[in-house]
Structure 1
């Protein structure tokens, strides 16, 4: 088996980091179509070709320092994200860049999906904002497993921005994901906003860990 091309991981992860930050910081007016507010998360979309890009913005009542280890722990993601079935760190290039594998539950007759992803985790401004960004990168070290359909993430990530009180974080989700298989893009676009619920899932998990209250 050919060795992993770590330079490719860095290249792809660097590119998606830049794209995620730009979309997360972009003004809504004139660029994004407002869809709804759900669980206090403002969800918008951008009609980018046949597959739309979704953005969710919401507040998590914990500082970046508490969110970051939860959101970046590859193998324990199912503990906080009910959509995620499993995860594995394929290769850690350095403290910023990695290659990871994640799988996600299917719904009803839809098969489970898996993704091989270049991952970047980096502080992007002096105020302590951190971006976590992923993009699909196929590599022989990360084949699709039996029973899964290999999806493609053009972009999926979150931007964590500390709020002035230092105890809360503004979280912006960006996602443009094609689950592949036989799903038409119009159907994917209907459910594409679900990724924004990762903000809600982080809030719920951190609350539970702090023994404040259960979250249904």
Structure 2
């Protein structure tokens, strides 16, 4: 992939995700519990929803980031029940890559295994926050593969943010913005994401304890 084009695309993606983070308007809470809030609003990218999750994870931002950062052979494959594989298709720079993520069947197998090919940009901010920013991209080295429905992530990502005066806590804000594709009833999709995101936070907390103690 042309590095200059990839850089421009990724910065535009990151700017969109940062706007989601800053924009408090239009969100409707659809699930709350155990310190995690999940809300949604209609997507402007496709006929579906953009979901936002927010919660506090016990662990320093660096430790939380270690569990979720988008790297091949990383910890996320070990704890995230919605990720069966993660591979780098092309490494463009140290912080920019094209990746393929595979996910298992879900919702009592109403949702069959999916794969997603994304342009992913990692950023670190002066206040110690980390972010990942991703959106779907086509890549010649990764055509659709048998056994998987090709899904499409629209601009999405997460922010691991330090809490002032709380070095062992992290505010994690996540944005899921996924077109699962295929022929799925909208009710299945609408019920799947809030539950899945709530479990994501619970499983991440266990992973931080397990892998970082």
Per the shorter chain, which TM-score range? 0.7 to 0.9
Deviation of 1:176 after TM superposition, in Å, equals: 1.1
Where structure 1 has 5 or more consecutive residues not aligned to the other structure, the ranges are: 212-216
Calculate the TM-score normalised by the size of structure 2. Answer: 0.88
Calculate the TM-score normalised by the size of structure 1. Answer: 0.86
Match of 1:103 in 2: 102
Change (3 A) 1:196 1:152: farther
SS of the residue 1:168 aligns to: strand
SS of the residue 2:159 aligns to: strand
Match of 2:183 in 1: 182
Deviation of 1:187 after TM superposition, in Å, equals: 3.3
Change (3 A) 1:22 1:210: same
Match of 1:138 in 2: 138
Deviation of 1:34 after TM superposition, in Å, equals: 1.3
Checking the alignment, whether the CA contact within 8 Å between 1:10 and 1:118 is kept in structure 2 is no
Match of 1:25 among 19, 22, 26: 22
SS of the residue 1:84 aligns to: coil
CA distance in 1: counterparts of 2:72 and 2:200, whole angstroms: 14
SS of the residue 1:57 aligns to: strand
- What does residue range 154-193 of structure 1 map to in structure 2 within 5 Å? 154-164=154-164, 165-193=166-194
Match of 1:205 in 2: 207
Match of 2:10 among 13, 22, 27: 13
Where structure 2 has 5 or more consecutive residues not aligned to the other structure, the ranges are: none
Match of 2:40 among 36, 45, 53: 45
CA distance in 1: counterparts of 2:186 and 2:120, whole angstroms: 25
The count of aligned residue pairs is 205
Checking the alignment, whether the CA contact within 8 Å between 2:26 and 2:41 is kept in structure 1 is yes
Match of 1:71 in 2: 68
Checking the alignment, whether the CA contact within 8 Å between 1:12 and 1:135 is kept in structure 2 is no
Does 2:63 align with 1:61? no
Deviation of 1:112 after TM superposition, in Å, equals: 0.3
